[in-house]
Structure 1
């Protein structure tokens, strides 16, 4: 029976903290600040001229710092833990919001406060990606129990096979030196697996490594869908609850500066409360054992255990990778692992799309009203839209709200789709989101009349922004799901045949002398027995839980690069070429993502099909 809720290894409290703490508020405080920073400039500081330039400079400095801070926070989380980084991040956000409304000048006071907020916000947004794999990661005690059970089961089956064959071998004197191909002397890992499955029944196939990997990947995709939903809900929380606070306080008799300051104090206090909630709610997170603040001033070591043939457990300490090697390996994985590489590219497109919705849709609408003489506001200054052109502001808010609502509703859908197709090609939903984005952005960029409430072609604006919202959330959810699967080693490219590899070279051919009893058992022992096998190396190769913070940092870096490229180049083309230029750029980004998924995912599907056919022919 299909599960409605993803299968998690984290506790309910940890999952609740992740969704209602980290995911819900990761973007909520940023939306609040971006929408209210102009009131800090005009009402608290008292600057009435060049407001747009000041707000733009602060936003650009914010993105530049976040571009560097995201990978650094990710690296740091691999040492001190994702919970610690998230707590620090939300505390910094809370303190920065309080300090911002204490400023008396834009430079340097307000700039320093905005940079502080950027530093904390980078930690919060990066941890959304870094915590996701930990929600479905196996706990160490579960891994140890599984290894012991598998070793006991393997040895038990090997013993039964020998006991069943021994009487016939002793009774067949004439064939003592010429073993049959199907005898116990040619038991290999593949034949043992096939035999044990036949004896135990088809019901045991659900517990195979391949099935477990698919379950983990499906759970990651579904959880990513919930993360996208709560992230969108956080943006709506900021718009519906945080932003109206100054107006409520003004109605209670406070002045405009006092109302803005009080609102920032309250939102800053909420951020600190979220940090406390995360501190208690994310304790004992899977995969975070041994990480603490003390790791900053001591030499870190990675601990590994193995069991020898006599059952003795040995512990080995090896120096942990350096920060440089962690980020280097994370970047390299973008070129060597298709799940992580497509996840990075999806993050680049998703973050750029968020700017297209929140920044360029209002600018596009305002430019249309100014161009047609319906408004006298400056199309480069979003604050003028509210004051001088209520109709344009209403339309821009409606279009943006429709896009975000479509994204909110479709987030669980993309998570469900990613979980459903994980046994096939898990990249296809991302390609679908990219295709929808190409159509939506091209359609909006060519709009002659974005006024959806008036005009003959206005209804196309509604359709275009719905497509844009669906594409944005699809890129977010699918890229997060791909990263989670890549980190947990459950990439759809990896199949069960890669774990077992080929038959050992000690298999006996007709006419050869059989091996000893110890040789029969050796290929059946798991990696924990101390015998180095291909499966052990393959597990180390694909398990990247120690890199989840670094990978999350690179993912956020890619998203920040997309934002900077779109805002600077798209903004310049908006002024010099056409207001639709930023949307044409986003269409190009989505087209590149579409081609990448088609080439990489399609090529992998073809290779997997050929490999499967070759294995069937060899069998």
Structure 2
């Protein structure tokens, strides 16, 4: 498939894109679904525990989420030092080792718990890298691709002479009559400056961007590419869940049909899935080599206080103080309060991850509670494995409703990716507004259902169950795709603005010095200023931002699990769904307040420009 035709703004290679989608995105969810669906069989068949299985599984799941809440931001911080490729490879290797160790356990505590915590550690790395790799795949293209290619060629063959050629090119008008690099005009162009050109250049300086007005189409192209790729990521995570259900989960039954004992059947299945995890790690190691923006990252940078970086103007390596892990984390957190796109992405990630719990946990519990109230089940189990064994009809209905929600999400993932690139000139917050509104309606409808049985023609609300779960699935995938798109776009746009400022400042300094000073002389004498500039480069913060994004999602899971579970028992079975409606309403208001206010200001500034012109 020609990725370049689908994503004109794709900066990574087709191999990078294929590895990202078929490796990281697909299997990040597949292994998790497999383990969650089979961990009870490890407890009963491998370890031999027959009582309090639900309590053991629940404790393991809670410990898993608690560790992931801490591990996700830590992996993000580490990836900013050693690279997203290394963290993804480590994650899948840890997942493979943990799967093998899980079925070697002789007891639930501590052996099975340690295996589950190891899996959580590896899974946190994989899920965080789904977010962190996205900005490296799609970025804005430069306006003068051909000119830059020639400069790179000259720099590779001529060193300082290539740099001198670039200086001459900067002072020469381009074919379109505009300055080819940087907003600062050359001496010759200042002679012929006009009021219109002066106003244009002033506006460019005020925005702090090196790109001139004709570069905007490339920016919208990058936003569109980011949204479309995020849509495919959402679709491939759904495909990963299907792979787990259709390929991984039938493995124990297959081995039992070949006369293997139940314990050996589970063990053989885990060994095969672990081997697949190792193969995925190898594929990522090969397929994500030379990923854009990862050149200066290595294991040696884990504890290094400074790093070298190639200056795009001087073509020489410069050394700058490397931000500490705490600085990176604080910068990623601060962006949630200073950048509206990243703020919406964090809130969207919170809602999206909480939605996954509502679908996988609380829909089955809601269905089972209905069957108990109706006298169709004799007991009221509090977890999915017990529901499966003690009330098979409730389990089948819950599986059908959850499957409908996930199918709706799978179908709508690329649609939200397309909408994010097309609606509002590539601004995915507007589709996010629609997803949150759909979520409010879907969760309220489901919470008020008297009967969730959509397949037996009850007249007390069952006919609305199908519609409700479809809306819930659409809302979940919309939150995932649009928040990922917002995150990737904001990282790339922030990095482009910073590099534009750097190019402008460097060019002006060199022209003022006549290009005769030492090019290795630091432009910022203050070390703290250099460190702050490094922190502001979002391309070097994408792992930290992805970690905080995953942290927000983990917080959503824990909050809904504890608050929703308590209110489920003490108030009404619809309580978790009402909580999710509130979460989606908060997201909807955030989009209206942040993006709506910005849009109004943009329109007002545009009207002012028209009147002044």
The question of a shared fold, defined as TM-score above 0.5 by the shorter chain, is answered with: yes
1:156 aligns with 2:162: no
Q: Is the 8 A contact 1:130 1:552 kept in 2?
A: yes
Equivalent residues in 2 for 1:78-477, closer than 5 Å:
78-137=80-139, 145=149, 155-157=171-173, 185=191, 187=193, 191=197, 208-305=214-311, 307=313, 315-421=317-423, 423=425, 425-454=427-456, 455-456=458-459, 457-477=461-481
Query: What is the aligned counterpart of 2:544 among 550, 568, 572?
Result: 550
Q: Note if contact 2:495-2:539 (Cα within 8 Å) is conserved in structure 1.
A: no
- Does residue 588 of the first structure (1) align with residue 594 of the second (2)? no
Unaligned runs of 5+ in 2: 152-162, 179-188, 202-210, 505-510, 515-519, 525-531
Report if aligned partners of 2:220, 2:426 keep a CA contact under 8 Å in 1: no
Q: Which moves more between the two structures, 257-266 or 587-596?
A: 257-266
Cα offset, 1:612, TM superposition: 1.7
Is 2:558 the partner of 1:564? Answer: yes
Which of residues 483, 505, 515 is equivalent to 1:479?
483
Within a 5 Å distance, the mapping from 1:517-556 to structure 2 comes to: 543-556=537-550
Matches within 5 A, 1:69-84: 69-84=71-86
Question: Does the 8 Å CA contact 2:82/2:299 hold for their aligned counterparts?
Answer: yes
Give CA deviations for 1:232-275 in whole Å, capped at 9, x if unaligned: 11011111111111111111101111111111111111111100
Contact conserved, 2:408 with 2:474, CA < 8 A, in 1?
A: yes
Shift of 1:5: 4.1
**Which SS does the other structure have where 1:303 is aligned?**
strand
Render the CA deviation track for 1:319-350: whole Å, top value 9, x for unaligned: 11110100000000000001111000000000
Deviation at 1:378, TM superposition (A): 2.6
**Partners in 1 of 2:592 and 2:402 — Cα distance?**
30
Superposition TM-score, scaled by structure 2 size:
0.84
Are the equivalent residues in 2 in contact too, given 1:7–1:216 (CA < 8 A)? yes
Q: Report the alpha carbon displacement of residue 607 of structure 1 after superposing the two structures with TM.
A: 1.0
1:180 aligns to what? Answer: none
Q: Secondary structure at the match of 2:319?
A: strand
- Is the 1:339–1:486 Cα contact (8 Å) retained in structure 2? yes
User: Does the 8 A contact of 1:370 with 1:379 survive in 2?
Assistant: no
CA distance in 2, matches of 1:443, 1:239: 28
Structure 1 residues 500 and 550 mapped into 2: Cα distance closer, same or farther (>3 Å)? closer
- After superposition, what is the alpha-carbon deviation per residue over 1:133-153, rounded to whole angstroms, capped at 9, x for unaligned? 000137999795488899666
> How many residues align structurally?
560
| Cα deviation 1:341-385 (Å, max 9, x = unaligned) | 100000000000001001111111111101111012333132222
Structure-2 residue corresponding to 1:45: 47
Alignment partners' CA distance in 1, 2:141 and 2:263 = 51
Displacement, 1:531?
A: 10
Cα deviation 1:412-437 (Å, max 9, x = unaligned) = 00000000125264310001000000
Deviation at 1:156, TM superposition (A): 2.5
Shift of residue 458 of structure 1? 1.9
Q: 1:481 offset after TM fit, Å?
A: 0.1
Aligned to 2:32: 30
Shift of 1:116: 0.3
Preserved CA contact (<8 Å) 1:216 1:490: no
Cα RMSD of the aligned pairs, angstroms, is 3.6
Which whole-Å CA distance do the structure 2 matches of 1:160 and 1:441 have between them? 55
What corresponds to 1:510 in structure 2? none
1:145-187: CA deviations, max 9, x gaps? 488899666533289989xxxxxxxxxxxxxxxxxxxx96461
- CA deviation vs aligned residue, 1:426-466 (integer Å, no higher than 9, x gap): 31000100000000000001110100111123221110000
Unaligned runs of at least 5 residues, structure 1: 163-182, 196-204, 502-517, 523-527, 533-537
Q: Is residue 58–residue 383 contact of structure 2 (8 Å, CA) maintained in 1?
A: no
- Say whether the 8 Å CA contact 1:32–1:242 is kept in structure 2: yes
Distance (whole Å) between structure 1 residues aligned to residue 427 and residue 277 of structure 2: 39
Could you say what secondary structure the match of 2:106 adopts? coil
- How far 1:393 sits from its partner (Å)? 1.1
Shift of 1:614: 2.1
SS across alignment from 2:171: helix
C-alpha separation in 2, matches of 1:306 and 1:37: 52
- Cα distance in 1 for partners of 2:545, 2:293 equals 15
Residue aligning to 2:601: 607
1:489 match: 493
Cα offset, 1:86, TM superposition:
0.3
CA distance in 1, matches of 2:91, 2:377: 41
> Cα 1:541–1:106, aligned 2, differ >3 Å: closer, same or farther?
closer
Give the CA deviation at 1:94.
Answer: 0.5
Q: CA deviation at 1:212?
A: 1.5
